């Protein structure tokens, strides 16, 4: 009897432990799902391993078959706006931690430079000063040489506040061009402009609306010969191209390509161009590589969903990719077209 009671007691104890374990696993699963849902709100997908997904043989003219993706730094909230500096570091915006960092491209060590509400895309101006799309300020700002302070370059159009500037590039005419969607409009603030635009800031500071026919303008880039401006649309998941004119005007807008994906996949975002006119555009699962003629050559599949990218290293053949919580890099056979270098 004593033996049977002991066995009966152990059985009930084991059953209790199993139930407790199942409850714990269920709770942990729910927490993981909740965490994933938060990350997905920033565009992250669980993409798995790095891969060079090749669609045409031309892809191998741009990448070595043994090219590897390297994680340079991690531990961020949500990375954006990379800009490489010849001193050996990378500017990186963190939209979640609300800071701009410098990341050492040799060691991956990161240094906080300035606290700034929701910084986004960045570029250098002709004087090598950092321009940032400051979403909370609803402005394009210029950082001081040490990065510790800033001045507002523009924050209003025709007396109304901008929406939430997203990405910025220097044009072939020395003017500044940027997109202004509402995706990062600060909570509780009203949209004052009844559209989402692409703008030009002339060298004398005058702000000009170039187009408002892109539903959700995001990344933008110029062709190396300065005759085309590319703007992608995160809602329609496509890339627009315009003929660019010497006076800064645009004409003949048309669809260059589309980047379809699932509802939780990444969308067209930051983009860069190489010296031969190939486009490298953020899209579902990674970086979509396009020929100048609109042919999708292949995709750099990245373990975390990217948001933006930049050319770097002395030969400008390395792509630095800001992807959710990390910064990655990959070598290429191409050489990047970097607009602000042409201004020197």
Residue 8 host element (H or E): helix 2-40
**Two structure tokens written together for 250:** 């645009």
**Two structure tokens written together for 203:** 């060298």
Q: 194-247, pLDDT tens digit by residue? A: 999 999 999 999 999 999 999 999 999 999 999 999 999 999 999 999 999 999
Q: What whole-number distance in Å separates Cα of residue 296 and Cα of residue 278?
A: 10
Q: 112-159, pLDDT tens digit by residue? A: 999 999 999 999 999 999 999 999 999 999 999 999 999 999 999 999
Nearest to 86 by CA among 278, 312, 325, 291: 312
Tell me the torsion sign for CA atoms 147, 185, 269, 277.
negative
Residue 258: which pLDDT band, with cuts at 50, 70 and 90?
Answer: very high
Contact 69, 300 (CB under 8 A): yes
pLDDT of residue 187: 92
pLDDT of residue 14: 42
- Cα→Cα distances 325→71, 272, 322, Å: 11, 21, 8
Query: Is residue 4 scored above 70 in pLDDT?
Result: no
**SS3 for 249?**
coil
Residue 344: which pLDDT band, with cuts at 50, 70 and 90?
Answer: low
Residues with Cβ within 8 Å of 46's Cβ and at least 6 positions away in sequence, in order, are: 36
DSSP state of 19: H
The secondary structure of 324-338, three-state, reads CCEEEEEECCCCEEC
Q: What whole-number distance in Å separates Cα of residue 77 and Cα of residue 79?
A: 7
């Amino acid at each position: 009897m004593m033996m049977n009671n002991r066995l009966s007691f152990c059985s009930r104890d084991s059953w209790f432990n199993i139930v407790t374990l199942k409850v714990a696993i269920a709770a942990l699963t729910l927490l993981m799902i909740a965490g994933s849902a938060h990350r997905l709100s920033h565009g992250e997908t669980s993409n798995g391993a790095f891969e060079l997904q090749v669609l045409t043989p031309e892809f191998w003219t741009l990448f070595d078959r043994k090219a590897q993706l390297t994680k340079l730094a991690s531990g961020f909230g949500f990375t954006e706006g990379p800009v490489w500096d010849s001193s050996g570091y990378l500017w990186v915006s963190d939209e979640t931690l609300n800071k701009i960092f410098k990341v050492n491209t040799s060691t991956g060590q990161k240094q906080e430079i300035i606290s700034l509400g929701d910084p986004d895309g960045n570029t250098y101006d002709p004087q090598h000063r950092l321009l940032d799309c400051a979403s909370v300020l609803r402005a394009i700002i210029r950082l001081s040489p040490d990065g510790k302070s800033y001045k507002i370059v523009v924050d209003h159009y025709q007396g109304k506040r901008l929406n939430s500037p997203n990405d910025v590039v220097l044009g072939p005419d020395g003017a500044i061009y940027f997109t202004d969607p509402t995706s990062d409009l600060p909570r509780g603030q009203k949209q004052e402009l009844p559209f989402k635009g692409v703008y030009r800031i002339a060298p004398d500071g005058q702000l000009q609306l170039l187009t408002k026919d892109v539903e959700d303008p995001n990344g933008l880039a110029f062709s190396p010969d300065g005759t085309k401006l590319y703007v992608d649309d995160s809602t329609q998941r496509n890339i627009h191209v315009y003929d660019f004119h010497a006076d800064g005007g645009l004409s003949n807008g048309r669809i260059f390509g589309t980047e379809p994906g699932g509802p939780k996949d990444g969308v067209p975002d930051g983009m860069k161009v190489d010296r031969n006119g190939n486009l490298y555009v953020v899209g579902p699962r990674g970086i979509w590589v396009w020929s100048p003629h609109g042919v999708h050559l292949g995709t750099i599949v990245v373990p975390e969903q990217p948001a933006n990218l930049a050319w770097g290293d002395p030969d400008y053949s390395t792509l630095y990719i800001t992807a959710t919580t990390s910064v990655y890099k990959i070598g290429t056979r191409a050489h990047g077209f970097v607009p602000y270098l042409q201004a020197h």
